[in-house]
Amino acid sequence: MKPLIDDIRRNPLFWLLALVPVVLLAQTAWPESHTLLFALSVLAIVPLAALLSRATESVASRTGDMIGGLLNATLGNLTELVIALTALRAGQYVLVKASIAGAIITNTLFMLGASFLIGGLKYHVQEYNRNTARLQASLLFLATIAILVPSMLAKADEAATNTGLMGSLSVALSVLLIVAYGLGLLFSLRTHRELFGTVEQPDEGHGPEWPLALALTTLAVVTLFVALVSEVFVESVQQAAVTLGMTPAFVGVIIVALVGAAAEMVSAFSAAAKNRLDLSVGIALGSAAQIALFVAPVLVLVSYLIGPKPMDLQFWGGAVTMMLISTMTASLVTNAGRSAWFGGALIVAVYVVFAMTLYLLPPRT
């Protein structure tokens, strides 16, 4: 337990863990105070997410490069997965989809752009490995197309949506995306690993890696707590949004995504500030690709087991457009392999355009 306690003591972020019991108590005491429960659960998820990625990294670092890479690639977005599973079980498909779209948009635009901006304010020009960025951007492009094409064609023929064909198509596309994600790992971790440089583990600030037993136990226990807090979050979010005057789309796409990715952002930004932009780009785009090609398809497949009814891959038009623009922006920007502050500012500005639009215009979901 000592390394865990050391870590918690060292990082002020972890002090928010105190809110976890508070949330659970508050839910029993004031089940109708949606805004309070929403705020508390948001704040409680952030340190849990940080703890989860810390534990995942520790397990990964103890299990060798290949398995470690696989673990990071599958459990790296465990928080997002647990939140989405909770929403799925509650039948909140709109929230699930909004949070998937939001995670992709937030990681490719806000996390990447702010990394460039933060790095660019300290360093005149920064360089990074283009191959990593290209691989992840290509995977994202495939995922966006897999979501775009059926969403577009479905609009053209409402009948298809009713007859379960969209369900079959979503399952087929999900399997395709997971296979593509697996091939991407095979490519970057095995057959062509020399192209992807050495994106080392982030070792900044936190102490030595934990022993395997501690890491695994933490992983299990924290996942359970994330699930419990997520339940509070999912139940309160819609009501809280109404009270706070925010559209549900804004909450799903912007708030949930920022909360879920908070821990990774800390890593990406501090890497950028240390001129290790390779790492920042890897975290931002890798995480987006993972959500699009692993988390989202897994949710579709799992929805056949746990949801009140199956979930499909059909997103509303605005979400598809924003995902497509995010992917294209990431593609165009990272093509250069160099960055300066202005590029980061522009990417963040695209994100702000999305956020402002979602805040003011309620989309048809």
Instruction: List residues near a second copy by CB under 8 A.
Output: 124-125, 134-135, 138-139, 141-142, 145-146, 148-150, 152-154, 156-157, 160, 165-166, 168-169, 172-173, 176, 179-180, 183-184, 187, 191-192, 316-318, 321-322, 325, 329, 331-332, 335-336, 340-343, 345-346, 349-350, 352-354, 356-357, 360-364
d(CA 273, CA 245) in angstroms, rounded, equals: 35
Q: Which is nearer to a second copy, 100 or 139 (CB)?
A: 139
Q: How far is the CB of 134 from a second copy (least distance, A)?
A: 8
d(CA 137, CA 332) in angstroms, rounded, equals: 9
Q: How far is the CB of 357 from a second copy (least distance, A)?
A: 5
Q: Which is nearer to a second copy, 38 or 116 (CB)?
A: 116
Q: How far is the CB of 249 from a second copy (least distance, A)?
A: 9
Q: Which is nearer to a second copy, 69 or 318 (CB)?
A: 318
Q: How far is the CB of 37 from a second copy (least distance, A)?
A: 28
Place of tokens 């901006």: 117
Q: How far is the CB of 138 from a second copy (least distance, A)?
A: 5
Q: Which is nearer to a second copy, 181 or 233 (CB)?
A: 181
Q: Which is nearer to a second copy, 267 or 329 (CB)?
A: 329
d(CA 4, CA 137) in angstroms, rounded, equals: 35
Q: How far is the CB of 291 from a second copy (least distance, A)?
A: 18
**Beta bridge partners of residue 338, listed in sequence order:** 127
Pick from 283, 300, 226, 305: nearest CA to 259: 226
Residue 127 is inside which H or E element, if any?
A: strand 126-127
Cα 164 to chain centroid distance, Å, stands at 29
d(CA 123, CA 130) in angstroms, rounded, equals: 18
Three-class SS of residue 21?
helix
Q: What is the DSSP string of 85-102?
A: HHHHHTT-HHHHHHHHHH
Q: Which is nearer to a second copy, 202 or 318 (CB)?
A: 318
